[in-house]
Amino acid sequence: MAKTIQAIRGMNDCLPTQSPLWQKLENTVKNVISAYGYSEVRMPIVEETNLFSRAVGEETDVVSKEMYTFDDRNGDSLTLRPEGTAGCVRSCIQNSLINRDEQRVWYMGPMFRHERPQKGRYRQFHQCGVEVFGLNGPDVDAELIMMTARLWRELGIDKHVRLELNSIGSVEDRADYRTALVAFLEKHVDILDDDSKRRMHTNPLRVLDTKNPDIQAILGDAPRLSDYLGEESKQHFSGLCELLDAAGIEYTVNQRLVRGLDYYNRTVFEWITESLGAQGTVCGGGRYDGLVEQLGGKATPAVGFAMGLERLVLMLETLELTDVRRSVDVYVVTAGEGTMMAGLKLAESLREQVPGLRVMSHFGGGNFKKQFKRADKVGAAVALVLGENEVADGTVVVKDLIGGSQDTLSHSDVITKLSQLV
Ligand code: ATP
Ligand code: MG
C-alpha cells in the first residue's frame, strides 16, 4: 500500500462530526453582527509580505517569528495572512471604500501563524473580525464591545468570559511614557530575560505583556501608562467606560493590557476565559487610528476586534453547549422493482414542499434491515419506506425512528407530518 499523507502539523481537518457545531457558531456570529447593520468583506488569503510588516509591525511576535512567508514563482515575497485587519484596511483603501464614507465591515476565515501547536493554538486557525472606519468617538468602541457581549449571551457562554479594558493613549502620549518606562527597565535590567531586553529598545510596551513571573513582579512598580494619557485620550476612555456602565457591561481596567500588534492606540480590550487554560483570550481588539494613513490611505480613525473561532468551539465543547440541529431528518428507504425512481421523486418533492427539511436517500441497495440501520447511523428522526405496494397505491410507510411507531400515509399526509420536524 502507498504511504499515506498527513495534514501539516497544527492544521486541522474539520470533520463531519465537528462541522455542525462550527456552522452553528458561524451562523450565530453572522446573525449577531448583521443585527448591527455591518456588511461582509472577503479578502484574499495571500498578500504582499510588506503589508504585514508595515501594518502589524516588524517587532511583533507575529511578524518576527510566526509568519508563513515564501517567494512565489516571480520572486515576489508573499505571506499567508496571519490576521485580517491589515488585508481589510488594504482592501478598503484600494477600493476607495473609506475616502468619504464610513464603513462597518466584518470578515471570517483562516489565518496562519507558525506557532507551537497546542490546545487553543494552531498554525491554521480561524478568526472572525469586525472593523469600523471613519468614526472617532467612544460610542462605536462601546458598540463593538456590546456586540461581542450579545454574542456571548447568544452562545450561552457569557458567564464564562470577562472583559479587560485599557487605554494605551496616542502615539504622543506613548512616546513620553516610553521614555519613563525604558528608564525604569534599565534599572532592573539584571532581572529581564532576553526577549524583554530586546524589546526594551525596540518596543518597550511589549515588556508589560510578559508572561515571565519574575518580570511581572517588578512591573508593579513601573510607571503607569494611565498617568501619561493626554486630555483627549482620557476623555475618550472615560466616555467609553460611561457607555459600558450604562449598558450594564462589566469590565476590569488592566493597566498592563497592551495587545500584541503595533497598530493599536487608545482603546484596547480582551475577552478572557478561565475555561481553556493558558490559551484564554477568545477575542481582542481596539482602536487603530493611524493605520489607514500608515498604509497610504487618507487619515481615517478605525476600531475593530477579532475573535478566535477554535477557542470558541473549545468553550462550547467544554461547557457542553453542543446541541446542534440534526443533519438528516428523513431517510428514504426503497426496495423492489421501480421503487428507486419513486424514492428519488418523493425525496425531491419533500425538499420542495417542506423547506428546510433534510432528506437523505438510501443508495447501494440491501434489505430493509440494512437500510434502517443506516438511517439510525446518520441520526434520522424518520424513515420513509417505499416498496412496490406503496408505489402502486401512492402511499408511504412512515417509521418513527425515535418513538418506534409506524403508519401508512398518503403523500399529502406525509408532508403535513414531516413539516413538524423543521
Ligand atoms: P495569544 O496571546 O493567545 O497568542 P494574540 O494576541 O496573538 O493571542 P490576536 O492576534 O489578537 O491574538 O488574535 C485574535 C484572536 O485570535 C485571539 O484572541 C485568539 O482567540 C485567536 N488566535 C490567535 N492566535 C491563534 C492561534 N495560533 N490559534 C488559534 N487561535 C488563535
Ligand atoms: Mg499570539
pLDDT confidence of residue 52: 96
- Summarize pLDDT for 172-228 with one digit per residue, the tens: 888 889 899 999 999 998 889 988 888 888 888 888 888 888 898 898 899 999 999
Given a contact cutoff of 8 angstroms between Cβ atoms, the answer to whether 77 and 49 are in contact is: yes
Q: What is the pLDDT of residue 195?
A: 86
**pLDDT, position 350:** 96
Confidence (pTM): 0.93
Ligand 1 site residues, Cβ closer than 6 angstroms:
83, 113, 115, 120-122, 125, 127, 260-261, 279, 281-284, 306-308, 310-311
| CA distance readout (Å), 211 to 124, 193, 219 | 24, 11, 12
Ligand nearest to the CA of 284: 1
CA separation, residue 198 to residues 22, 163, 189, 193, 202 (Å):
40, 30, 11, 9, 6
Round to whole Å and give the CA distance between 203 and 262.
9
Name which residue sits closest to atom 19 of ligand 1, judged by CA: 308
Predicted pLDDT of residue 84:
97
User: Do strands 252-253 and 161-167 pair parallel, antiparallel, or not at all (unpaired)?
Assistant: parallel
**Distance of CA 113 from the midpoint of ligand 2 (Å):** 8
**Closest ligand 1 atom number to CA of residue 285:** 11
C-alpha to C-alpha distance for 159 and 149, rounded to whole angstroms:
10
User: What is residue 172's predicted lDDT score, i.e. its pLDDT?
Assistant: 87
Residue 83 Cα to ligand 1 midpoint, Å, equals 9
The closest residue, in CA terms, to atom 22 on ligand 1 is: 308
User: Which pLDDT does position 101 carry in this prediction?
Assistant: 85
Which residues of the chain fall below pLDDT 50?
none
Q: What is the CA radius of gyration of the chain?
A: 27
**Residue-level pLDDT at 139:** 97
At residue 127, the pLDDT reads 98
pLDDT at 57: 87
Name the one residue in this structure whose C-alpha cell is 462589566. 250
SS3 (DSSP) at 240: helix
- Distance (angstroms) between ligand 2 centre and the Cα of 258 equals 13
Ligand 1 atom having least distance to the Cα of 261: 10
The ligand placed nearest to the CA atom of residue 81 is: 1
Q: How far is the CA of 96 from the centre of ligand 2 (A)?
A: 31
Q: Which atom of ligand 1 is nearest to the CA of 280?
A: 3
Report the chain's terminal Cα–Cα distance, integer Å. 45
39-67 tens-digit pLDDT: 999 999 999 999 999 999 887 889 989 99
Residue to probe by mutation, ligand 1, list 22, 68, 107, 127, most atoms within 8 Å of CB? 127
